[in-house]
A and B are shown apart, each in its own frame.
Chain A
Amino acid sequence: MAMNHTAPTSERAHPTPARYTAIALILAVITVVEVAIVYTKFLQPVLIPLLLVLSATKFAMVAMFFMHLRFDNRLFSVMFVGGLLLALAVIIALMTLFGVFFA
């Protein structure tokens, strides 16, 4: 049996270079905001949740657009997000075991 058809790796077209540049600019702006809020006194009570949200946003944007998870087959996302969730579970479990949350 001849097996010469291309195995599909992508489902939708990738962004254009201009779109990639726009995404990088947004990421740069978020980084500037992250650093700025660290030095903003009135935001100190909500600093850590704010930083985590901004960091998660940057992470998701790079994974979705630069790593093409938004455009590729869902199985790739399952493999990556599966490892990511296990990593988060390890962090939370270890911190709980060591009494970080319930000192």
Chain B
Amino acid sequence: MIHASSPAHPAPVETTTGLNNRKLLMWIFLGSDCMFFGSLIATYLLYRGKSLVGPYAHEVFNIPYTSISAFVLLMSSLTMVLALSAIHRGDMRGLKVWLLATALLGTVFVGGQYFEFTTFVNEGLTLKTNLFGTTLFVLTGFHGAHVTVGIIILLSFYLVAARGRLKPEQHLNIELAGLYWHFVDVVWIVIFTVVYLTETPNIVT
């Protein structure tokens, strides 16, 4: 059966795997990004407790504050998946609302990280102070950069949808943006546990 195609709705093409190549490429990219963050987390863990001068982790971390940031990013994953669900139903208004909510929650997270970094610097912890500062800022800074890129992608799709140039048939675009967004969420789940929760005063040896 032959379907009509147009630039806005290109006819799907047959692939070797039978899967959409764009989606497969996104998963391969996320797999490689796992290795990128894995190396940064490994570096943090290797130099943990090896700083010769302070401030040290348990002196600067504010667990309740970071927990709220983690909660905000977690909830942004919900709004992201609701945006995808909306476009699957053809609910373009819902899509716009949830995309904007996700971008807003992401912005709150990045803003919180900016405030946290400022607090660290005011307490004397910079990129060059000690090994803890170097590894912490590099790891969380790269994560923050990923979130920022995600916000730009979401706002771009919001603007395209607001102009009526995003159709329900193009849901794969939102699905791919969602995969990226959920990935930055799962990376933070790991960072929150490995970097923050295991560095509390109670368990520092």
Instruction: Mark A residues whose CB is within 8 Å of B.
Output: 2-9, 14, 16-17, 20-21, 23-24, 27-28, 31, 34-35, 38-39, 41, 44, 47-48, 51-52, 54-55, 58-59, 62-63, 65-67, 73, 75-76, 79-84, 86-88, 90-91, 94-95, 98, 100
Pick out which of these stretches binds chain A: B114-122, B123-131, B158-166, B192-200: B192-200
Residue B51 lies at the interface, judged by CB distance under 8 Å to chain A: no
A20 near B82: Cβ-Cβ < 8 Å: yes
Q: What are the residues of chain A within 8 A of B35 when measuring CB–CB?
A: 83, 86-87, 90
Residue B24 lies at the interface, judged by CB distance under 8 Å to chain A: yes
Q: Which residue of A lies closest to B17 (CB)?
A: A75
Residue B90 lies at the interface, judged by CB distance under 8 Å to chain A: no
- CA of A87 to CA of B198, assembled, Å: 20
For residue A39, give the distance in angstroms from its CB to the closest CB of chain B.
Answer: 7
Which 10 pairs from chain A and chain B are nearest by CB? A83-B31, A87-B38, A24-B78, A55-B193, A83-B34, A91-B42, A3-B14, A79-B27, A87-B34, A6-B12
B37 near A24: Cβ-Cβ < 8 Å: no
B45 near A91: Cβ-Cβ < 8 Å: yes
Q: Which residue of A lies closest to B38 (CB)?
A: A87
Residue B60 lies at the interface, judged by CB distance under 8 Å to chain A: no
**Per DSSP, are chain B's interface residues mostly helix, strand or loop, or mixed?**
helix
- Counting contact residues on chain B (CB < 8 A from A), the size range is 35 or more
For residue A58, give the distance in angstroms from its CB to the closest CB of chain B.
Answer: 5
Q: What are the residues of chain A within 8 A of B38 when measuring CB–CB?
A: 86-88, 90-91
Residue B53 lies at the interface, judged by CB distance under 8 Å to chain A: no
B27 near A48: Cβ-Cβ < 8 Å: no
Q: What are the residues of chain B within 8 A of A41 when measuring CB–CB?
A: 202
Q: What are the residues of chain A within 8 A of B200 when measuring CB–CB?
A: 38-39
Residue B70 lies at the interface, judged by CB distance under 8 Å to chain A: yes
- CA of A80 to CA of B11, assembled, Å: 28
B31 near A55: Cβ-Cβ < 8 Å: no
Instruction: Mark B residues whose CB is within 8 Å of A.
Output: 1-3, 5, 11-15, 17-20, 23-24, 27-28, 30-35, 37-39, 41-43, 45-46, 63-64, 67, 70-71, 74-75, 77-78, 80-82, 85, 88, 172, 178-179, 182-183, 185-186, 189-190, 192-194, 197-198, 200, 202-203
